[in-house]
Every structure is written in structure tokens, then in C-alpha cells.
Structure 1
């Protein structure tokens, strides 16, 4: 999840995230469907994590989606679909997609990274932008 985490072991990374008020939860999902104007991206063999930080939830989806035209697979608004009004980050290897791209990095996230690392707010914002808003990765980048 944190490509090249600077040599930190997962236990230390988890402890750092807990200290920053970040909670990560694995979600046992069977299928994820992302509908765009043109197609549906269907993830069936998928790993999903929910990260809660500062009152905002971020979902990370890891898997290879199947692309299909709209309306071709299953019901619309059925039980297996996920409708999320929160930032969703989906990555599937080389085809990494950041659905929340283009959104501003919250000032509260910048302050957390700056406080944790002792960096300036400008440096913290740059690290967050480079890491697509990932708090733990931004902290790791600056330490």
C-alpha cells in the first residue's frame, strides 16, 4: 500500500498511523462496481481497505477491473453495488487510478503531516500531493 515505505516495517507504520489518528480496516468485499458515463468497471477479485482520518474516509481498491458497457451486468442499484460519497482511491498495479484526483488536499491533513514531521506546511502539502493525499506515505516521504 505504501510503495517503498522507507524501510519501515508494517508494525511501525501501523503504530505511526494510530498515533496520527488514522484507522485502517480491511473490508471483505465480493464485488466493486464503479460506474462512469461510458462504462462500468467491475472488480470481482478485489482487496478493499477503508482508511479513516480526520473524519474523512478513503477507500483503496486493489484488483484488475473488467470493463463492460453500461447496463450489461446485473441490476442497477442492487445489493452488491457500493455507492460511496467519499474519496475513493482505486489502484490495480500499473493501471493506478485516483478517483479523488483534482481535489484540494485538506488543510487539516497538511497540518497533521507538518506537525508529525516538523516540515513546513508547503513541504507537507507537496508531499501529500506527491502521494495522492496519503497521510502515512507523505509522513514517510518527509522523515
Structure 2
């Protein structure tokens, strides 16, 4: 396919039923994994439709990896009951103590 100019390439893709479109205004793309998130900032996102199937091509401007702490609901409930606080306060304390239940309860009981 070398030697084709962009106009010829577009015509050939149209004949093959391939549609491409760039998404405008994309600020970030987040890929969520079990214990972390990959945040792609200011990406260029192209959507290609081939035989009814969509494929997204993402070219990031920059990348950031965030660790994600998953706190089980049972832990939140336990801290709420033991420290006598609401859900939001219990969750915040667990996040601050990186999920350590005993430390979260002690922290809230001492406040």
C-alpha cells in the first residue's frame, strides 16, 4: 500500500467498509485494574469501525498510574459500629490508614 496518497487511502478504506473518526474533546481515559488505575491524560482517540466492530486507538499525551485501595464493605461496617461513626467517616479513616481496621477504630475513638 506504499505510494498511496491520503485521498486514495480514504477511498480504499471506504470501499472496504472501514470508517475512521477522531473523537474531539477527550480529556482522559482511565483503565481500571484490580489494584490500580492507569490514567491517560489528553489522549488522541480514534474510533475505527470494521464490519460493525468498533476498535479504539488511544495515543496518550501523558500517563499516570494510581494505586487503588479496595476496602471491603464489612470492614467499613465494623469501623462504623465500633467507633460509632457514619459510613463516610469510617471509609475516610480506613483510606487514611490504608485499610488497617484497628488503626482506623483507634484513630476515630481518639478524636
TM bucket normalised to smaller: 0.5 to 0.7
| Contact 1:44-1:65 at 8 Å conserved across structures | yes
Please list every run of at least 4 consecutive aligned residues from structure 1 whose deviation after the TM superposition is greater than 6 angstroms. none
Question: In structure 2, what is the Cα distance between the partners aligned to 1:37 and 1:69?
Answer: 10
Contact 1:35/1:70 (<8 A) preserved = no
The offset of 1:9, in angstroms, is 2.3
1:67 to 54, 60, 65: 65
Supply the RMSD in Å over aligned alpha carbons.
1.7
CA contact (8 A) 1:26 1:48 kept: yes
Greater per-residue strand proportion: 2
- Residues of 1 paired with 2:33 and 2:6: CA distance? 35
Q: Does 1:18 align with 2:11?
A: no
Structure 1 segment 1-143 matched on structure 2, within 5 A: 6-28=2-24, 29-63=26-60, 64-70=62-68
Cα distance in 1 for residues equivalent to 2:3 and 2:63: 30
Q: Which runs of 5+ in 2 are unaligned?
A: 70-111
Task: Decide which structure has greater helix share.
Answer: 2
In structure 2, do the counterparts of structure 1 residues 24 and 37 end up closer, same or farther at CA, with 3 Å as the change threshold?
Answer: same
Structure 2 residue matching 1:15: 3-state secondary structure: helix
TM-score by length of 2: 0.54
